Chains A and B, each alone.
Chain A
Amino acid sequence: MTYIAKPPLHHPSLEKNALGFTRRDYEGRISTLCAGCGHDSISAAIIQACFEIDLAPHRLAKFSGIGCSSKTPDYFVSPAHGFNAVHGRMPSVLTGANIASKDLIYLGVSGDGDSASIGLGQFAHAVRRGVNMTYIVENNGVYGLTKGQFSATSDKGSKAKKGAENKDSPIDLVMLALQLGATYVGRSFSGDKTQLVPLIKGALHHKGAAIIDVLSPCVAFNNHVGSTKSFDYVREHNEAVNRLDVISPRAPIRAEYAPGELKEVVQHDGSTLRLRKIEEEYDPSDRNAALGYLARKATEGEIVTGLLYVDPAAHDLHDSLNTVDTPLNKLRDVDLIPPVSALEKINSGLR
């Protein structure tokens, strides 16, 4: 951390978005994480994404569990709503809030320990229910906050700082999310904002469970030779399958490209995901093919990144439950409590 607050002074050319906010208006308090932590770059990417999609800060609800990663919602979009849950329990708290107040934009921020170790069950159920949320796992392969024990996403054979080797099989949260029915799945790297920012923007626009696994090196405990989650290792093995551009619902769409070069996907809210292929055979609309591809690449030791799967017409938990349009927390007593006559009607039917 630093002692001084980040000065409000800014570059003279700093732009404003449609709401009249600058990127700096989406910042939070100064980070208390270790200098150089990948998580801080992800916060910067979230700030950039919220700014670019003209998100009104009060429409965002931030949720997290426990861990360095889970501390970060304090470091972006200060005016947003937020809830810091106990370890691994963020998904159910987010689900509850989402059920009660469907008109907010839900952002869960978690770690690989928070989501793949203690919170695996919670993670799985929030995804399979299709909670409308953006769920970012800041994946560093260790429990950073408790000083670097291997987490459940740590690769078999990856070495700890003092040389101990991880003997357990890793959980791949991307593959898990695909199996569990997530409708927007991406993977990225904290050190590549050109890839990460559009992925977050697309996820915030997505209706349904959007999961982004972001490799985020822990400079203090997992950035050494022998680790498979270090800056150098991730850079060497990163294989992006596509490049994404996100066009907001109201922005004019210009088609100035050769057919076949780009694939455009219009999401539920009218936003357009414009995908430029890098890997010819990769098709992000085919869940099973994606799973096969990812499994194959994982055995080759490659880290596949990009928008890996998207179903633009997805349904979310509210669709399944068939809730009313009005957020439940805005329903008045008269809407919720039937009159005595209604009770009598029921009772008379039972007589």
Chain B
Amino acid sequence: MKPTDIRNPDYFHKVVDCQWACPAHTPVPEYIRLIAAKRYTDAYLINWKSNVFPGILGRTCDRPCEPACRRGRVEEEPVAICRLKRVAADNKEDSVAALMPAPAAKKNGKRVACIGAGPASLTVARDLLAIGYEVHIFDGDAKAGGMVRTQIPRFRLPESVIDEEVGYITRLEPVLHLGERVDSLKAFLAQGWDAVFVGTGAPRGRDLKLPGQAECAANIHIGIDWLSNVSFEHIHTIGKRVIVLGGGNTAMDCCRTSRRLGGEDVKVIVRSGFDEMKASPWEKEDAMHEGIPILNFLNPREFTHENGKLTGVWFTKMHWVEEGGKKKLVPSGEPDVHYECDDVLMAVGQENAFPWIERDLGMTFDKWDMPVVDQVTMQSSIANVFFGGDAAFGPKNIIWAVAHGHEAAVSIDLLLTGEDVKQRPGPGVTIASTKMGIHEWAYDNDPSLDHRFRVPQVEPEVALRNVKVEVEKGFDPLLGFKEARRCLNCDVQTVFAADLCIECDACVDICPMDCITFTENGEETALREHLKAPALNLTQDLYIADGLKTGRIMAKDEDVCLHCGLCAERCPTGAWDMQQFYLEMTHAGCSSAPKAKPAPQPVGAK
């Protein structure tokens, strides 16, 4: 294998599994260490800079970082990265706002419009306002926040948290046009914006339109419309027996909300099996914990009704079959089953809808009638119109909306400063030794053996009484500290200097995870099998260094390294060093920053 180029920021970035997996590339381990050090405000600011909504995301994020977390491969469960974010948000000082950028003192004269006031648009606005753009935000709703405000139930996310974090953006003085729907993009573009960002989400809930539906329409609701009506306090009750159709997170919010509005016998009924459901495992767990059964392999066929009132639903039983090597869900042939109910909530998917974008505008739409949007620049086929969030590539989640927002803001800034939107600015990277003494490091290198801590919750009896009672209490500072200590500090990199190594094997012998091997070089597949421990996780790189006296190579499997620093402590020559790698995405306004490249320097270097 070729020696690893550790000067390429991607190499060490990939070692920080959580940060690499986070769409916004939040520097996770650094904020976790700050939480352990009780520096909540600093931890919050790192998050705020990167993901804009730490308090909201600390309660609701889809957390792609957690399945990626190294800890999950070392013991049973990953670090509770998401809920630690909330610890920072809950415990930060009130003065945090003073540390955020103030409204730009000087405007640059460029006017940008954001359509929709969801997380994607708000991110674009934050990034551009701080550097002098005049940003106008339009939304049909009366308050900013998008689906974060209208869809996510209050028992998961109190409105005060939304107000606070939306407030950190509105204090930068965007021009808000709330209650103003945009009905024609053509007319809108004619207003002469320098750039337009479309962050209108995926607002349409799918409707099954089954037989019997029209006759009892009053008892059959589209999940997302019903949830927003609950949020707006237009709806306060539901029937005693409720069936929720669908297996995604919206279904989970619908059923749990029903339990709080008077639903006593609430069921979730899903076409597929339990494991194939789209809802996150923790959402399913929370629903079942509230006494909501999930029934699988049942496809709704027809609504039954009496005197214009819904009485129940007929279901066809389904099962998986293999067809041409593909798994297919088909009726199993067993007799259909009927479940009685008073109300049905349909949560079977969300769609984009752009009736307000004229198709003769010159914007290219694909065969699914979605605007063609560049995956990196977020640019549409009209040069100054950008998309992001659910509006860009279909429904995703908040953290993706934020990541899109950052990229779109970078593009808008590049475009409006006359640069090429395709020339993306590189990340800001620093790498520095953490060595403080022979056995002392600037981080806590002794890995905690604790298993994942559970977030304390209020009693179900209390929680189910009111839709506004937040179920999770959050980690208190002590639990937060203990959970934070579970982080393996994956950003503290093992950096190797072959010219210092005397091949004494001390690092090989001490490494608890058998990461390090000195061996003859070879081709990757063979090499992976012949290391001290087989390196079978192909998603994880091998760190290869040549230049050793014996002509062998050093091969380190990054997969399950604890970043405990024992290799560096046992090395007699300082050939291993533990160096903190800090990577920050470059946001708008920093686009002329030089493409930073780390230059690792072992402390023992001669």
Residue B124 interfacial (CB < 8 Å): no
Kindly state whether residue A35 has any CB partner on chain B within 8 Å.
yes
Shortest distance in angstroms between A234's beta carbon and chain B's nearest beta carbon?
11
Q: Which residues of B are found within 8 Å of A338, using beta-carbon distances?
A: none
Chain B positions within 8 Å of A193 at CB level: 505
Interface SS majority for chain A: loop
> Which residues in A have their C-beta under 8 angstroms from that of B571?
35-36
Is A6 within 8 A of B510, CB to CB? yes
0/1 string, A220-237, CB within 8 A of B gives 1: 000100000001100100
Distance (whole angstroms) from the CB of A43 to the closest CB of chain B = 8
Q: Is the CB of B504 within 8 A of A12?
A: no
Complex: how many Å from CA A48 to CA B73? Answer: 25
Per the CB 8 Å criterion, the residue count for chain B at the interface is 34
Per-residue CB contact flags for chain A residues 117-133 toward chain B (1 = under 8 Å, else 0) read 00000000000000000
Most buried by B among A36, A191, A217: A36
Within the complex, what minimum Cβ distance (angstroms) separates B553 from chain A?
16
Contact B502 A36 (CB under 8 A): yes
Determine how close the nearest CB of chain B comes to the CB of A92; give it in whole angstroms: 31
Q: Tell whether, in the assembled complex, residue A10 and residue B566 are in contact, meaning their CB atoms are under 8 Å apart.
A: no
Q: Is B470 engaged at the interface, CB distance under 8 Å to the other chain?
A: no
By CB atoms of chain A within 10 A, which of B534, B571, B572 has the most? B572
Count of A-B contacts judged by CB separation below 8 Å: 93
B506–A6 contact, CB under 8 A?
no
Known A7-B562, A223-B502; judge A14-B514 contact (CB<8 A): yes
A190 to B509, CA, bound (A): 11
Whether A36 lies near B513 (C-beta < 8 A) is no
The reply to whether B513 and A10 form a contact with Cβ atoms under 8 Å apart is yes
- Tell me which of B74, B569, B572 contacts A219 (CB under 8 A): B572
Asked if A4 and B513 make an inter-chain contact with CB atoms under 8 angstroms apart, the answer reads: no
Q: Which of B74, B75, B572 contacts A35 (CB 8 A)?
A: B572
Q: Cβ of A12 and Cβ of B73 under 8 Å apart?
A: yes
A235–B550 alpha-carbon span in the complex (Å): 8
**Residue of B with least CB distance to A232:** B549
Q: Does B256 contact A (CB under 8 A)?
A: no
Contact B505 A7 (CB under 8 A): no
**For residues 1 through 55 of chain A, which have their beta carbon under 8 Å from a beta carbon of chain B?**
1-14, 24, 34-38, 40-41, 43-44
CB distance from A218 to the nearest CB of B (A): 11
Is the beta-carbon distance between B439 and A13 smaller than 8 angstroms? Answer: no
**Given A4-B564, A35-B570, A35-B571, also A11-B502 (CB < 8 A):** no
B79 to chain A, nearest CB (A): 14
Interface window among B13-21, B184-192, B441-449, B593-601: B441-449
Query: In the complex, what residue of chain B is closest to A3 when comparing beta carbons?
Result: B439
Specify which chain A residues have a CB less than 8 angstroms from the CB of B505 in the assembled complex: 41, 44, 190-191, 193
Contact A9 B512 (CB under 8 A): yes
Q: A37 near B506 (CB under 8 angstroms)? A: yes
- 1/0 contact trace for B445-457 toward A, CB 8 Å? 1110100000000
The answer, yes or no, to whether B283 is at the interface (CB within 8 Å) is no
Binary contact readout B507-523 vs A (1 if CB under 8 angstroms, 0 otherwise): 01110111000000000
Chain B positions within 8 Å of A7 at CB level: 446-447, 449, 512, 562, 564
Is B506 a contact of A9 with CB atoms below 8 Å? no
- CB of A42, distance to nearest CB on chain B (Å): 10
Q: Which residues of B contact A24 (CB under 8 A)?
A: 512
Report the separation of the CA atoms of residues A7 and B566 in the bound assembly, to the nearest whole angstrom: 10
In the complex, what's the smallest C-beta–C-beta distance from B53 to chain A, in angstroms? 34
Q: Which B residues lie within 8 Å of A223 (CB)?
A: 502
In Å, the complex CA distance between A37 and B573 comes to 12
B514 A9 Cβ-Cβ under 8 A: no
When distances are taken between beta carbons in the complex, the residues of chain B under 8 Å from A1 are: 439
* Interface pair B506/A13, CB less than 8 Å apart: no
**CB of B290 within 8 A of chain A?**
no
Quick check: A41 and B75 within 8 Å, CB to CB? no
Pair B570/A2 contact, Cβ less than 8 Å: yes
Q: Bound complex: CA of A235 vs CA of B502, how far in Å? A: 11
Contact A41 B536 (CB under 8 A): no
B533 on interface, CB distance cutoff 8 Å: yes
Shortest C-beta distance, B171 to chain A (Å), equals 45
Contact across chains for A11 and B503 when beta carbons are under 8 A apart: no
Does the CB pair B504–A231 fall under 8 Å? yes
Within 8 A of A (CB), among B429-473: 439-440, 445-447, 449
Q: A312-347, CB under 8 A of B: which get 1 and which 0?
A: 000000000000000000000000000000000000
Determine the distance from Cα of A247 to Cα of B232 in the docked complex, in whole angstroms: 76
B176 to chain A, nearest CB (A): 52
In the complex, A11→B509 CA distance in Å?
14
Whether B572 contacts A8 by the Cβ 8 Å rule is no
Q: Which of chain B's residues have a CB closer than 8 A to the CB of A40?
A: 506, 509-510, 570
| B512–A6 CB distance below 8 A | yes
- A4's closest neighbor in chain B, by CB? B446
The residue in chain A whose Cβ has the minimal distance to the Cβ of B574 is A35
Q: List 30 A-B contacts (CB under 8 A).
A: A1-B439, A2-B439, A2-B569, A3-B440, A5-B446, A7-B512, A7-B564, A8-B449, A8-B512, A9-B513, A10-B512, A10-B513, A11-B514, A11-B533, A13-B533, A35-B506, A35-B569, A35-B571, A36-B506, A36-B573, A37-B504, A41-B506, A190-B505, A191-B503, A217-B504, A223-B502, A231-B504, A232-B502, A232-B549, A235-B550
Q: A7-B564, A9-B75, A13-B533 are in contact. List 6 more A-B contacts (CB 8 A).
A: A2-B569, A6-B566, A11-B514, A36-B570, A40-B570, A43-B509
Task: Point out residues on B near A: beta carbons under 8 Å.
Answer: 73-75, 439-440, 445-447, 449, 502-506, 508-510, 512-514, 533-534, 536, 549-550, 560, 562, 564, 566, 569-573
- Closest 3 A/B residue pairs (Cβ): A36-B572, A44-B509, A4-B446
